[in-house]
Each structure stands twice: as C-alpha cells, then as structure tokens.
Amino acid sequence: MVKVLIITYYWPPAGGPGVQRWLKFVKYFRDFDIEPIVYVPENPTYPLEDTSLLSETPEGIEVLKQPIFEPYRFAQVFSKKETKTISKGIIAGAAKQSFMQRLLLYIRGNFFIPDARKFWVKPSVRYLEKYLSENKIDTIITTGPPHSVHLIGKELKQQTGLRWFADFRDPWTTIGYHDKLKLTKRSMQKHISMEKEVLSTADHIVVTSFTTQKEFKAITNTPVSVVTNGYDRESIPETILDTKFTLSHIGSLLSGRNPENLWKALYDLTKENEAFSEAFQLQLVGAVSDDVLSSIREAGLSDFLELKGYVPHIDAIKIQRSSQVLLLIEIDSKDTRCIIPGKLFEYMVSKRPIIALGPAGADVSKLIFDTNSGCFFEYHEYEKIKTQILEYFVQFQKGTLASHVIGVEKYSRRELTRSISGLLKEVIIRK
C-alpha cells in the first residue's frame, strides 16, 4: 500500500469547490492501493462552510491538524463585511471599490505573498518534518490555492528528499483576480519568482486545464499532467423538473462574471414573448456580487430573479437536476480561458442543457462541444444567445428539453482518482 501525505487548506467543514477535489480523491484512493494521510489547519477561517461534506470523509483516514494564524480575523476589526467579501473572491470593479476595500486589497496583495495563509508555512514544515521522520510516507502532495501550501511542500522536499507532487486547482500568476490585488512591480516579481521555484522543484505538476498545462510547460521542465475536476455519482432521490422555465447558475458570481448581453437577451424575450414572460425564472444559487445584481436589476429582470444564497452541496445537486437550463459564466478575459470549474462536470451529468459564456478559446468550450452537453458563447454574441434561449424554451414548451451527453464517464471522480493514482505511482517508481 502506497502512503501519501496530502497538505491542503480546504477540508470539511469548508464549503465551496476548493474542498471537493481532494476530498473525492481521498474517498477513492484506497480502491487503488493508496493510503492517504491528510494535513489541514486546526482553526481555519473558511468563507463558506458545508457540514454535509463531513460525512464524505472515509472512515479511518488519519487527519493531522495544526493551528494557523489567519490575518483575516484581525482585518475584520476594521471591516467585517469587506474582509468576508474579499475572502470569498467577490471583488468589485475599481470604480466601485470603497476606500476600505482598496486598502485591504493593497495590503493583501503586497504584504501577504503569496497569500494570507503564508504564516502557516514555517510551523507546518517544523511539525511535518518531525512527522515524516517518524512515519514512512512515499510521496508528499500539496494542493493550491492558497499557493502558500506549495511552499510547505517545497521546504519539505528540500529537507527530507521525499518526492513532491504539486496540484494546481487554479493557476498562480495568471489567475484572473491578480490584477485587482494592486500589486507593485516588486510584489508581482516576487510572485513570479515563487511560482517558478515551486514549478521547478516539484517532481510532478498536476493542473486542471490544458491552457494551464501549456503555460506551465513554458516555465519548467518538470512534467505537467492534466487531471480535470469531475463529478461523483450522488445518491439523490428522483428529482422533479421545475414547472417554470428556470435558468439556474450554481456558485459564486464575481464582479467580472457579468454578461450584460445575456441579461439583455432574457429581458427582450420577456417583452417579445408573453409565454416566455409567464414561465421564465432566473435562479442564482451562491454568493452574488453587488455589481452583478445591479446589472440584472437594471436590465429589468428583478421580477424574474430568485436568489438562493449558498446551499449545501447535496442541495446544489438537486437544484441542478430540477432546473430546465444551467448557466455557466466565466470572466471574459484571456486569463480565464484555463478555468474549468468543477460544477461543469456535475452540470453534464444532470441531463440539463448548459448555456456557457466566457472568453474566446476557453477550455470549457471544447469540453462542452466534445460531450454534447450544451452551447458556449462569447459575451458579445447577443443574437446567438437570444436565439439559443428561445430554442430551449420552445423545447421546454413541447416537453422535450434535455441534454444528450456523450463520453462523460471518464470525468467521474473514481476514474479521475484512477488517473491521478497512476501518476503518483510513476513518481514513486522514478525515485
């Protein structure tokens, strides 16, 4: 049995997508002769919590915990609302940022490099170095963001000589929000230097998208593999479809995820088509920025809007399967072409058609096309968006609206665990 030490910041009861990737790998590792030991913070400040995920931790898994110093706790003294908003990643556009938000972003970007969890690095290295000297571990795994977790892996590899496997759920210096952190040239250079050092020191890099793989291969000679996010076969009772023509978005809608042409198309359809107006509902599940809410209301959609807020993951799955159409919205920037959110794969197996919006050349567009799970549009394609929504509405009226996906089995969490297990064993053999 191969033993691996997984170092992660996000772990149940943390909610949101960051926790699910390695929770699911841990869930299936034993099927592939891998015994995981998980190292997490003892007292983290999670922006979202989902206690339902606690039940998914496999029985008997060893979970190590050590305290973490969280600067966000002290920042809340000055502005609890702004601190919580930033920690969720909901950052308003520059013109709408308050003085306090601008100040907090500047401090976050330039005083906490690579991120606000940097103070967990040194105590974790001390604790884990002792643990590793007393226990036989075959490979160290780190998963970020927060990318400070990778610094723990780098130090442990250099001190112990163990193989180190670095997993990037998101890119580092090319992530979409980096330009909002008000980084000085010196701070940006420090990020670039840290990123290169991590990529060059690790024995294997895993990323979730093909664009990030290409970017990293231009920086390092370390092998870089793609293991996407995926879906689990949830045990959910049969779900009844909504009687309304619901378009649902699951997950956070950040300020940059604001496709005004989508809102305009929906409003125009309510004015041009009485049946559409009577049946339509826009359902947003998760945190939504004020910018996005303002755009939706200014577009004239207030009467059709239902805000659900954050819900437990199992409830999100139920909403996906009962909705008529699912929305996938990414920031319209070349920096987000690499983002393949985990919910995409859950969307695929919900059997509901997807309308996705994002930048040209997005990795998401290829996956949606290859699996026949919906349609992808760029933000400016007003007429195409409107036409597709109307086409789905006509199918809804006829009772024939559904998606007919193909080739999604390889994205099941168990099959993805098989893939990453194979990579881990290759890394160990190379030793």
**276 shares its domain with 357:** yes
**23 shares its domain with 162:** yes
- What pTM was computed for the model? 0.84
Lowest mean pLDDT among 190-194, 228-232, 426-430: 426-430
The pLDDT of residue 174: 84
**207 shares its domain with 285:** no
**286 shares its domain with 363:** yes
Give domain status of residue 47, yes or no: yes
**196 shares its domain with 327:** no
C-alpha to C-alpha distance for 84 and 90, rounded to whole angstroms: 9
- Concatenating the DSSP letter of every residue in 363-389 gives HHHHHHHHHT-EEEE-TT-HHHHHHHH
CB atoms within 10 A of CB 224: 22
Q: What is the pLDDT of residues 240-287, one digit of tens each?
A: 999 999 999 999 898 789 999 999 999 999 999 999 999 999 999 999
The pLDDT of residue 77: 43
Give domain status of residue 98, yes or no: yes
Give domain status of residue 87, yes or no: yes
Give domain status of residue 378, yes or no: yes
Give domain status of residue 126, yes or no: yes
**394 shares its domain with 418:** no
The pLDDT of residue 179: 66
Name the residue type at position 57.
T
Distances (CA, A) of 49 to 15, 308, 310, 379: 4, 16, 9, 32
Q: What is the mean pLDDT of the chain?
A: 90
The pLDDT of residue 86: 45
Q: What is the pLDDT of residues 200-224, one digit of tens each?
A: 999 999 999 999 999 999 999 999 9
The pLDDT of residue 83: 45
Give the mean pLDDT of 175-183: 70
Q: What is the pLDDT of residues 310-353, one digit of tens each?
A: 898 889 999 999 999 999 999 998 888 998 988 999 999 998 99
Give the residue carrying structure tokens 């990778």: 150
For the chain, what is the largest distance between any 2 Cα atoms, rounded to a whole number of angstroms? 71
Give the mean pLDDT of 127-133: 97
**105 shares its domain with 171:** yes
C-alpha to C-alpha distance for 60 and 414, rounded to whole angstroms: 19
**274 shares its domain with 311:** yes
The pLDDT of residue 429: 76
Range list of H helices, 135-282: 148-160, 185-201, 210-217, 260-272, 274-279
What domain range includes position 330?
245-398
Whether residue 228 contacts residue 207, with contact meaning beta carbons closer than 8 Å, is answered with no
Kind and range of the H or E run holding 315: helix 313-322
Share of the chain above pLDDT 90, in %: 72
Comparing 254 with 137, the larger pLDDT belongs to: 137
Query: In degrees rounded to 5, what are phi and psi of residue 144?
Result: -140, 165
Comparing 396 with 256, the larger pLDDT belongs to: 396
Give the mean pLDDT of 175-188: 76
C-alpha to C-alpha distance for 9 and 100, rounded to whole angstroms: 27
Query: In degrees rounded to 5, what are phi and psi of residue 87?
Result: -65, -25
**363 shares its domain with 419:** no
Q: What is the pLDDT of residues 37-93, one digit of tens each?
A: 999 999 998 888 889 899 889 999 999 999 998 875 554 444 455 445 544 444 445
Nearest to 355 by CA among 266, 416, 279, 426: 266
**Angle (nearest 5°) at CA 230 between 224 and 234:** 155
**337 shares its domain with 423:** no
**Domain CATH for 41:** 3.40.50.2000
- Concatenating the DSSP letter of every residue in 342-353 gives THHHHHHTTT--
Query: And the tokens for 18?
Result: 């960051």
